[in-house]
Amino acid sequence: MWRGLWTLVARAARGPRRPYTRQGSGAPAPSSGATVFALSSGQGRCGIAVIRTSGPASGQALRSLTAPRDLPPARKACLRLLSDPRSGEPLDRALVLWFPGPQSFTGEDCAEFHVHGGPAVVSGVLQALGSVPGLRPAEAGEFTRRAFAHGKLSLTEVEGLADLIHAETEAQRRQALRQLDGELNHLCRGWAETLTKALAHVEAYIDFGEDDNLEEGVLDQADSEVRELEVALGAHLRDARRGQRLRSGAHAVVVGPPNAGKSSLVNLLSRKPVSIVSPEPGTTRDVLETPVDLAGFPVLLSDTAGLREGVGPVEQEGVRRAQKRLEQADLILAVLDASDLASPSSCNFLDTVVIPAGAGSPNGSNQRLLLVLNKSDLLPAGGPDPSPDLPPHLLLSCLTGDGLDGLLEALRKELAALCGDPSTDPPLLTRARHQHHLQGCLDALGHYKQAKDLALAAEALRVARGHLTRITGGGGAEEILDIIFRDFCVGK
Amino acid sequence: MFSFRGCGRWVAASLTKQHHPSSRFSGDSAAPWTPHFDVVVIGGGHAGTEAAAAAARCGSRTLLLTHRVDTIGQMSCNPSFGGIGKGHLMREVDALDGLCSRICDQSGVHYKVLNRRKGPAVWGLRAQIDRKLYKQNMQKEILNTPLLTVREGAVEDLILTEPEPEHTGKYRVSGVVLGDGSTVYAESVVLTTGTFLRGMIVIGLEMHPAGRLGDQPSIGLAQTLEKLGFVVGRLKTGTPPRIAKESINFSILNKQTPDNPSIPFSFINETVWIKPEDQLPCYLTHTNPQVDEIVLENLHLNCHVKESTRGPRYCPSIESKVLRFPNRLHQVWLEPEGMDSDLIYPQGLSVTLPADLQEKMITCIRGLEKAKMIQPGYGVQYDYLDPRQITPSLETHLVQRLFFAGQINGTTGYEEAAAQGVIAGINASLRVRHKPPFVISRTEGYIGVLIDDLTTLGTSEPYRMFTSRAEFRLSLRPDNADSRLTFRGYKEAGCVSQQRYERATWMKSSLEEGISVLKSIEFPSSKWKNLIPEASISIGRSLPLRALDVLKYEEVDTELLAKAVPEPLKKYTKCRELAERLKIEATYESVLFHQQQEIKEVQRDEALQLPKDLDYLTLRDVSLSCEVREKLHFSRPQTIGAASRIPGVTPAAIINLLRFVKSTQQRQAALDSLPKTDQHLCNTDKLEDRQL
């Protein structure tokens, strides 16, 4: 009876605006029948990456990727050559394991691929799995949920699951923000809008067409919109390989009031002059990104404009960008001037950024924050802690390098927790999911064109929209009715 | 027939044996003659008649209380039933042996199925109905229903007692007080007062209290409900003027003829009462810029339009059409009101201007140049009760055994009212007999979609059914309402006649047999092409085709297929309905397979019941935010599935609720394994309660 769990959690996760969502038969709604796959070894630098599948098609997936094509003995590691089932192109020599249900982590049939950890290999195997019929990328935490559904977790563990799901929904939201920032986001939203409108017009034609005077050509217009959408989606999917830059690693952002020494810290951590440093407040205007290796973990470090109000338009834009980056970050490095803690800008920063984020501990949104007090060299030597009332913090002098070891150790701990957390979706998988849903959408649009029965055609559009709204959110039935009543004068 | 002290007119009683009510009150000397019923239904509209008849069909001694017996079955607005989405509801009401579909098959004057070209899942059965015939036939049906008594009287108040401890709710209803001060006791009460709660009729700048033109509103009852703590909202609706038939120049207008043959609404009817050639036509005309002008120039004389009360977006008055979509021609359908009626109903011309301006507006429309207005259009504003205060069985959370159905819950339309009426009547009766409630899930029917939307989301405008509201639209079709609901109605509610049950059983087994035969016949596509040259079968396919796949082609129907393969298919063409339903099943077969999977998922969530007596505001074992607690407290979802559909209830909250349900179930299981003596104790407690 617990197998429907995912559906309802997913439904609730889709947000407050949708009372109930139609997820079409094309399978965007994860059902117990679907088989899911995910990279389950986190995204830190590693020699071996573990890719897992769960669901009835696991055996099929194992057979189609490996040679020889027979299933290995249950729960025994075997060396196999992995190749892409579509092209036959070899991918890797890997250890594979086969766990027939119910004696597996999730209680379903499971398979594990232990592949060499490079991004190319991992990406290749994920794409190969995505091409096996019946397989789709897992939603965040779906493995745990399936385990729960099959009674593999005790009641106490379930208590933790609620927190996990909360954290994951947040992590996923941040991930989506990041991944969908810019062009792809813009595209997806545009497509979803077009599709919703086309669906609304088809629905209007069904619910009102007959003896209401809907304008002529409502269906023709929907048809041509769907055709255009199909072309755009097809082009995007063919193009996707080179379109997106993948940004691996944890996203760390350095924030603080102006002239706290953020840029100095970035330069210190990256061991190169990434940012221009000057004693003048407001030197950094834009977000500067640099990929760095911190304590063995890949990190994308961002320097941002100092947070303050009432400055020129260029700097205001910098502040806006800094705040946006702050929302998307996994790890916040909050920098304050240790000699200037009582100033209004410092206090304001503490109240608005540090305290809400809960320094030193993961807060509700699972963001982590380290509070760094820079310019410790300006404090009287050997004096008492300048700020016993502050949340946990580290003292540092970017000038002398004093306190750097302590900071690196703290960073190592935070990053280990972040990158080792399998719930953080690696960008590879996020991209695989986008492609899965875009492809699903495209397939459904094909069904729309073929359908002679208008109810079937509308169903295909509902499925297509279901796929897109899995990426963009939204998608309730009320939205459709709103468009109908906005666009048409219907009813008597 | 009974005679009671100082009471109104008793119109009819059941023809079957009467249980004398006083025998149940032998120890109660204070009111030896007070009547006592199992179920009392207040209101004789579309919800009330269905509720009363359903309760009686379920075996409860039922009383229908109405202002006037001669208004029972009155169609107070449009002279039509059905339509897209609404026709679906009527088929479902019929599948539960409800009245309106059968009455419509005896009272229509123009039968037409809408959406014929758009796929059988969205066909909309619809008919123009003769108002007088409908009322006559409905009254005949109601006055001859066994176990059902009808009485005239206005209900002024509810009689409340202590709540039953094993159910939630602050009070329990045990009867009603009438306008003349007399009382009627009841085990369950169904309230179907329509627009009568503080109803207000508006024409131009004039407003006067009325539930319907010519009828008094219920004010005492509205006050009682508000005092009890029910959250009340206000809605508005309207109706067009009526025009004298002989004053219209039909010869210059577009004529719409009815279907031939007519498709009946009810599963148990093969045909309707009237031949297509004897039916009446409808006519189409349009508004024009002059109409816009009159509306726009006189907005200051039109207080209904200015009011902030929410009206329906999909049943707009001509004023709101002109305001929202200016410079367009709007359709006006001229619909007959009945066989011998000299009135025409101008559908689409709902208006609240002062009467003289309405007349002026009408005469500038093509075909209506010399039209005589017999009755002006008017607006109605009325109270409704936030439907999140009722359960999916339509019983209120606040008052035990009190049920609401129809417009009182914020819906609009005869069909929506009838659908709720059946469910309320069934549940009022089941409640009396201590049986579990009869709830239709949104995976099972439009009735389920309607009630789930209302009880979990509430509504801020009069709620109307659309097919786009149903996520499982391809499964919830007009053709298969019987296989979805008749068996449940028969077994769980007892509201379905033996005859209907047997018919549904025969149809179901014939369909299943037919589908499996169609699946078993396989030929290469080239052979099919030879057999049925009309079909656009591509010969290139290597796999053999099943007969079921061939039946999917638009141009193939069961007849054509049976001509190609007479054995064993010939027998499936003998029943028109069976042949048509096989074709429909084939059309949707591939999609329905997927949809069934999804439906199962949703049903699993629906099976996870939340305890009814949860106090979400103080519940300590569950970690929930204040916001979520308040939402759950107000809507009181009955299942985890319903909880997950409430906006703002987070996934984490759902998991926490699940954990709670599971541990509660474990405790319950432990309790159930206790010795039986405990159960006996509970029963005696109940008995003592009653004797007190």
Q: Are B548 and B518 in contact (CB under 8 A)?
A: yes
Per-residue confidence (pLDDT) for residue B310, from 0 to 100 = 66
Structure tokens at B79: 């002279």
A158 and B663: CB-CB below 8 Å? no
Predicted confidence at residue A12, as pLDDT, reads: 43
Contact B468 A208 (CB under 8 A): no
| A5 in reach of chain B (CB within 8 A) | yes
In this predicted structure, what is the pLDDT of residue A171? 57
CB contact under 8 Å between B647 and A22, yes or no, is: no
Task: With CB atoms and an 8 Å threshold, state whether B663 touches A155.
Answer: yes
Please check whether residue B387 touches A, CB under 8 A. no
**Residue carrying the six token digits 């020129």:** A312
Residue B89 has pLDDT above 90, yes or no: yes
Q: B117 and chain A: CB distance < 8 Å anywhere? A: yes
A81 to chain B, any CB pair closer than 8 A? The answer is no
Cβ within 8 Å of residue B497, ≥6 positions away: B57, B97
Are residues A155 and B316, on separate chains, in Cβ contact within 8 Å?
Answer: no
Q: Are the CB atoms for A123 and A428 separated by under 8 Å? A: yes
Q: Are A28 and A437 in contact (CB under 8 A)?
A: yes
Q: What percent of chain B has pLDDT over 90?
A: 63
φ and ψ at residue A62, rounded to 5 degrees? -60, -45
Local structure of B567: helix, strand or coil: helix
Out of A3, A21, A481, the one facing B468 most closely (by C-beta) is: A481
* Whether pLDDT at B574 is above 50: yes
Distance between CA atoms of A419 and A248, rounded to whole angstroms?
A: 10
DSSP letters spanning B74-122: ---S-SEEE-TTHHHHHHHHHHTT-SHHHHHHHHEEEEEEETGGG-GGG
Structural element, H or E, at residue B135: helix B131-143
Partners of A8 on chain B (C-beta within 8 Å) are 605, 640-641, 644, 654
pLDDT at A423 over 70: no
- The DSSP symbol for B639 reads B
Among B331, B347, B595, select the one facing A213 at the smallest CB separation: B331
State pLDDT tens for residues B496-511.
999 999 999 999 999 9
Least confident segment among A278-287, B107-116, B260-269: A278-287
User: What's the pLDDT score for residue A153?
Assistant: 66
List strand residue ranges (DSSP E) for B581-670, in order: none
Of B353, B2, B21, B344, the residue nearest B175 (C-alpha): B21
Best-predicted range by mean pLDDT (A77-91, B130-144, B370-384): B130-144
Q: What is the pLDDT of residue A31?
A: 42
Among B236-240, B277-281, B418-422, B618-622, the least confident range: B618-622
β-strand partners of A289: A302
* Separation of alpha carbons B474 and B462, rounded Å: 26
Q: How high is the pLDDT of residue A252?
A: 86
Distance CA B626, CA B619 (A): 11
pLDDT grade for A42, boundaries at 50, 70 and 90: low
Confidence class of residue B441 from pLDDT cuts 50, 70 and 90?
Answer: very high
The token pair at A398 is 């970017």
Helices (H) then strands (E): counts for chain A: 15, 13
Find, in chain A, the residue whose alpha carbon is nearest to that of B652: A162
Of B400, B31, B481, B422, the closest CA to residue B188 belongs to: B400
What's the pLDDT band for A309 if we cut at 50, 70, 90?
confident
Alpha-carbon distance B574 to B566, whole Å?
Answer: 12
**What pLDDT does A366 receive?**
61
Residue B667 sits at the chain A interface (C-beta within 8 Å): no
Give B494-501 contacts, CB < 8 A, sequence gap 24+. B494/B57, B494/B58, B494/B59, B495/B54, B495/B57, B495/B58, B495/B96, B495/B97, B495/B422, B495/B425, B495/B426, B496/B57, B496/B96, B496/B97, B497/B57, B497/B97, B499/B268, B500/B97, B500/B267, B500/B268
Distance CA A244, CA A239 (A): 9
Is the torsion defined by CA of B684, B666, B625, B627 positive or negative? negative
Does the distance separating the beta carbons of A454 and B84 come in below 8 Å? no
Residue type (1 letter), B57: R
Q: How far apart are CA A319 and CA A306, in angstroms?
A: 7
Angle at CA B75, nearest 5°, toward B74 and B76? 100
Which own/partner pairs from B591-596 qualify as long-range (CB within 8 Å, at least 24 positions apart)? B591/A25, B591/A456, B591/A459, B591/B474, B592/B474, B592/B475, B594/A25, B594/A26, B594/A27, B595/A25, B595/B472, B595/B474, B595/B475, B596/B475
Query: What is the rounded average pLDDT of the residues B49-78?
Result: 95
Residues 6+ apart with CB under 8 A from B526: B539
Rounded to the nearest 5 degrees, what angle is found at the Cα of A471, between the Cα atoms of A46 and B656?
80
Closest to A173 (Cα-Cα) out of A27, A11, A14: A14
Distance (Å, rounded) from C-alpha B560 to C-alpha A90?
A: 53
- Nearest residue to A459 (alpha-carbon basis) of A442, A445, A479, A471: A445
pLDDT tens per residue across span A173-184: 555 555 545 556
Tokens of B109: 């004057």
- What average pLDDT does the segment A455-470 reach? 89
DSSP for A377-423?
A: GGSPTTPPPS-TTSSS-EE--TTT-TTHHHHHHHHHHHHHHHHH-TT
Rounded to whole angstroms, the Cα distance separating A470 from A172 reads 12
From A51-60, A106-115, A346-355, B119-128, the region with the lowest mean pLDDT: A346-355
B85, two tokens: 């989405």
Check if the beta carbon of residue B246 is closer than 8 Å to that of residue B360. Answer: no
Q: Alpha-carbon dihedral of residues A191, A193, A198, A203, nearest 10 degrees?
A: 140
Interface test with A, best of B116, B118, B351, B555 (most A CBs within 10 A): B118
CB contact (8 A) between residue A492 and residue B350: yes
Q: Work out the average pLDDT over B133-147.
A: 97
A325 band by pLDDT with thresholds 50, 70 and 90: confident
CB B76 within 8 A of CB B406: no
Element (H or E) spanning B51, and its range? helix B46-57
DSSP string, B518-536: HHH-EE-HHHHHHH-TTS-
Higher-pLDDT residue of A62 and A247 is A62
How far away is chain A from the Cα of B626, in angstroms, using its nearest Cα?
A: 16
**Higher model confidence: residue B612 or residue B272?**
B272
- Residues in B closer than 8 angstroms to A492, CB to CB, are 315, 331, 333, 347-348, 350
Q: Give the span between the Cα atoms of B533 and B389, in whole angstroms.
A: 59
Domains of chain A: 35-151 (3.30.1360.120), 178-239+427-486 (1.20.120.430), 248-419 (3.40.50.300)
Tokens of A404: 């750097």
pLDDT tens digit string along B327-357? 888 899 999 999 999 999 999 999 999 999 9
**Per the structure block, which two tokens stand in for A478?**
């009320």
Do residues B254 and B333 make contact, with C-beta atoms less than 8 angstroms apart? no
Structure tokens at A396: 């540092």
The model's pLDDT over A136-180, given as tens digits with 9 standing for 90+, comes to 887 766 777 677 777 776 655 655 566 655 555 555 555 555 554
Measure the CA angle with vertex B597, ends B591 and B603; round to 5°: 130
Residue A409 Cα, gap to closest chain B Cα (Å):
33
- Neighbour-count burial of B664, counting CB atoms closer than 10 A to its CB (0-12 exposed, 13-18 middle, 19+ buried): middle
The arithmetic mean of pLDDT across residues B534-561, rounded, is 87
Check residue B349 and give its pLDDT: 93
Asked if B255 reaches chain A (Cβ–Cβ under 8 Å), the answer is: no
pLDDT in the model for residue B16: 39
pLDDT tens for each residue of A203-237? 988 988 766 666 667 888 899 999 999 998 888 87
CB B61 within 8 A of CB B38: yes
Task: Quickly state the pLDDT bin for B598 (edges 50, 70, 90).
Answer: confident
Residue B591 forms contact with A (CB below 8 Å): yes
Distance of CA B505 to the CA centre of its chain: 24
Would an 8 Å CB–CB cutoff place A156 in contact with chain B? Answer: no
A149 and chain B in contact, CB less than 8 A = no
pLDDT class of B261 with cuts at 50, 70, 90: very high
Strands B155-161 and B331-336: unpaired
Q: How far apart are CA B26 and CA A355, in angstroms?
A: 72
pLDDT of A69 above 70: yes
Q: Decide: A129 and A85 in contact? Cβ < 8 Å.
A: no
Chain B hits for A33, CB-CB cut-off 8 Å, are 597
All domains of chain B in start order, with CATH: 242-379 (2.40.30.260), 500-595 (1.10.10.1800), 608-668 (1.10.150.570)
Check if B355 contacts A (Cβ < 8 Å).
Answer: no
Q: Tokens standing for B346?
A: 């101008």
- Which structure tokens are listed for A250? 């944890």
pLDDT in tens, B669-678: 777 776 544 4
Q: Hunting for tokens 């690196």 — which residue is that?
A: A408
pLDDT over 70 at B29, yes or no: no
Banded pLDDT at A420 (limits 50, 70, 90): low
Q: Which two tokens stand for residue B574?
A: 């003998």
Q: CA-CA distances (angstroms) from residue A132 to A83, A188, A214, A436?
A: 12, 25, 44, 12
Average pLDDT for chain A: 75
Greater confidence, B5 or B301?
Answer: B301
Query: What would the pLDDT profile of B624-641 be if each residue is shown by its tens digit?
Result: 888 888 888 888 888 888
Cβ-contact B562, B401 below 8 angstroms: no
Report pLDDT for A141: 63
Cβ atoms B351, B378 nearer than 8 A:
no
Phi, psi of B347, rounded to the nearest 5 degrees? -65, 125
CA-angle at A359, arms to A358 and A364, nearest 5°? 30
